[in-house]
Chain A
Amino acid sequence: MNAANYLYVSALLFTIGAIGVVVRRNAIVVFMCVELMLNAANLAFVTFARINGNLDGQVMAFFTMVVAACEVVVGLAIIVTIYRSRRSASVDDASLLKR
């Protein structure tokens, strides 16, 4: 099977994730879209590793997973805290930085 197909899938997933981040209001969904972009990147890493015949991309994918795991912990904690304080998970409601 042609390795380029995996890259197309990766690009598709990344685009879906990016559009999701920009258009969705629900913080959980936005968060999931970010994860989608990360996994798209991971897929690209692994594919390139396969194409080049070395393990560099595989190793990088592991790093990304670790970072993503940490990010999920912190991010979910923030979302839960925000939800508790303002009874909403909409990212547009948390626009206090402007003022």
Chain B
Amino acid sequence: MMNVERLQRFNWRPVAIGFLLVLLLLMPFNWFMGQYTTLLVFIGLHTMVTVGLCLLLGYTGQVSLGQAAFYGLGAYFSAVLSKTYGVNPWLAMIIGAIATGTFAYVIAYPIFRLKGNYLAMATLGLGIIMYVLFRQMAQYTGGPDGMGGIPQLAIGSFVFDTPFKRYYLVWFFCLSILLLSQNIVNSRTGRALRAIHGSEAASASLGINVAQFKMKIFVLAAVYASLAGSLFVHHLSFVNPQPFGFLGSVMIVVMAVVGGLASIWGAIFGAAMVRILSDELLLRFGELDIVIYGLILMLVMIFTPEGLFVRLKSYYRRWQTGRLGEVEL
């Protein structure tokens, strides 16, 4: 009996989180996974964008098929301001985040008069428009060829000039965003968001300003994406429109779905799965990669609509309670 109680009382959560943190800390070292540092940086960046979509789609129930547009806005604000106008990269990043957030705020008003499929279409259109702008405003953005020579981020004389250093920078941002999002979800605001997902009429009847909450979370997701975009261009020192097109937005949706829409930490899992798939496995498929994303999306939605990560978690729980049951016998 004593043993059972101890087993039940033992909380694995901090152990698991600690293990993950140590893993994250050690991964970019050469004797561990050093050759994958760039991939790990991309996973971190995409996690940031995906968390925003999880909050918007998974918690609030508002679809966006144009998240890559905000990712791109952050990227181009940082690239153009820091390279062409010589603005301090950190300042450029902040300006980018504020400008992208403001842009999201302005379009939120008309766009959230729409619901469901219509909202999906409108955000899809937004993504396409922004992609065309990134390509066509060549005098600023460098057009389809992109622009290079974007300066590095630095703190004083410490320059983030290697992937190894940037890995820690990106994951610092990523984990901060995950933590903030986790706190938001477990709060009055998070409850309001989930309530809006459940029933807008009932939410309004309980005093929730539905339109305002949708707008706020849309802006927050846009700012997350913008920050990721800024870090992205300073990581590559180069930017072109390719990652911010329709395929980019689809990838973000697939990441959110694989990780579990209503799961903050699942975003890491989703981003990692899709990035590994796209960077390591799908290269040989060339243009067919969008077919594969479509297939993954379909399969996940049919078999584990709550998300692969969430399903695995629940299997683990069941296994654990099953084990406890045996001990009790």
Does chain A bind chain B?
no
B-contacting residues of A (Cβ < 8 Å)? none
A-contacting residues of B (Cβ < 8 Å)? none
